[in-house]
Amino acid sequence: MKRLSGLDATFLHLETPEMPMHVGALHVFELPKGFRGRFVDALRRHMSARLPLTPALRRRLWMMPMNITNPVWVDAVPDMKHHVVEVRLPPAKKGGKAGMAELEALVGRLHPQPLDRTRPLWKFHVIEDLAPASNGHKRVAMYTQLHHAAVDGQAAVALANAILDLSPEPRALELKASTREKRFRLSLVEMVSGAVTSEVQQITHLLRALPGAVGAVSSAATRAVSRSQLVTGRKAPGGLGAAPRNRFTHAVTAGRAFAAVSLPLAEAKALGKAHEATLNDVVLWLCSTALRAYLAGHRELTRQSLVAAVPVSLRAKGDTRSDNQASMTLVSLGTNIADPAKRLAHVRAATRSMKSTLAGVKDILPTDFPSLGVPWLMEAANAIYRRATESDRLPPVANVTISNVPGPLAPLYLAGAKMLTNYPCSIVVHGVALNITVQSYDRSLDFGLMADAKAMPDVRRLAEALEDAFTVLRTVPADEDDVAIAAPGAARPRRRAPGPSRKRATAVRQPARKAGEA
């Protein structure tokens, strides 16, 4: 038995039919030559063998009396016929086998479906009737669902490492999965005493950490004001105003629209290095540029920059526990800046500001907190906020969530099949109706774009705008000595002393890979 932390349980308390709180991914696999049988059967056998390595997949929720405090995890043995299911796609519109367009539409239909809370909170959907690869090999796809109460982005990567292999031949395991489900009958006294003990521990921990937390927050606020003056030329704390209202800042509906795209990872890194930008800066700039083009095409571009909510991992290096250890920060995307080079300079300055402000408080941000009565309060608040009139009345905090999760840089295999793509499928919430999650895999940056179907039914256009943005990035001059930070009153960068000219980094040119291609 393990009690859910305050952060883990938050994803349960906030869940509604319009706002399911599971994450996942869309994968395309290439089957080995000569493969016989159904992949769904092979996958069920494979997952049964890997259960000892995956605690997040073999536990279920146990609710507290009257839902007075957070639930606990208890051991369970998954029924593979329920958790690994086969889904059939309709034929492609032009005839023949289904392709990427049909897979994207399928994810849009499946993603709003909630997971069964009486079972382990995961499900794999296998799609076997895909068009073959260009080399003639058969292909299959898989769309996964995993509740966010169980894992964050980094924990999901660790889970994938336990399930996937580095070669077509699955690695040998000495452990065997238990086939006998444990029956729990926790008494009311045990549940109440456990909850009270947990509350006392949490309150004691918070009181001990309070003096240091106050000092850290005060220091961070001072740095934020200083950074704000550098980035914006104004004395507004944090350098961020309220996000502008647009099609993304409304209550979400129960429908979803999904699109995916892959961009060459090596070239993205090389272009970032040429501009003295991190890979995360490049991802944010690509999203900013694509959003600017998309909104301009709809005549909805605002004079005020869009603001991105960016998850930040609080996980220590090497920590692979199946839980949530993350927080959220805000970054200005500079979508109001027409010049691509100045927009990149703005993104770089905004991320530096964010990192400087976050550095002093990252270690004190809580992932657990007292929860007595919290389920009632959060569910009541969520019920109020989900009303469209209420959510539309509150000032928007962000327009889009953008998450960049480092992933494996070598090809991986599942039950003998080679994984070609790894498109994340994440969460949209009331007031932030678009989520762009990126994961590096093998030689690609795989983008998964999840949107509320009412707010953005044409999310495929944004995926195409990302490809166009990458083409634009190739043309942005690498020498930024003469590019001022794009904000009113911002100081121009100091020129370097005379000397040998810098050599521009040479990008490794690779064509942008279409979604679903090897």
Among residues 8, 16, 47, which one has the least CA distance to residue 150? 8
Give CA 1 to chain center in angstroms.
Answer: 28
Cα distances (angstroms) measured from residue 172 to each of 3, 51, 175: 32, 14, 9
Q: How far apart are CA 490 and CA 403, in angstroms?
A: 28
Q: How far apart are CA 203 and CA 125, in angstroms?
A: 42
Q: What are the two backbone dihedrals, phi and then psi, of residue 447, each rounded to the nearest 5 degrees?
A: -100, 130
Q: How far apart are CA 159 and CA 144, in angstroms?
A: 12
Q: How far apart are CA 368 and CA 205, in angstroms?
A: 10
DSSP 67: G
Q: How far apart are CA 231 and CA 365, in angstroms?
A: 25
End-to-end CA distance of the chain: 43
Exposure b/e, 405-420, CB count within 10 A at least 16 = b: bebbeebbbbbbbbbb
Catalytic residue among 13, 147, 148, 275: 148
Judged on CB neighbours under 10 Å (0-12, 13-18, 19+), 209 is: middle
Residue 148 annotated as catalytic = yes
Query: Quick one: CA dihedral 245, 449, 119, 368, positive or negative?
Result: negative
Other beta carbons within 10 Å of 450: 28
> Within a 13 Å sphere around the CA of 210, how many CA atoms are in the beta-carbon half?
8
Tell me the β-bridge partners of 347: none
Cα distances (angstroms) measured from residue 386 to each of 246, 290, 489: 18, 29, 40
- The strand order across the sheet containing 84-86 reads 84-86, 122-127, 139-147, 22-30, 417-425, 413-414
Residue 498 CB partners (closer than 8 Å, separation 6+): none
Tell me the β-bridge partners of 95: none
Contact present, 412 and 162 (Cβ < 8 Å): no
Query: Quick one: CA dihedral 94, 100, 102, 104, positive or negative?
Result: negative
Annotated catalytic residues are 148
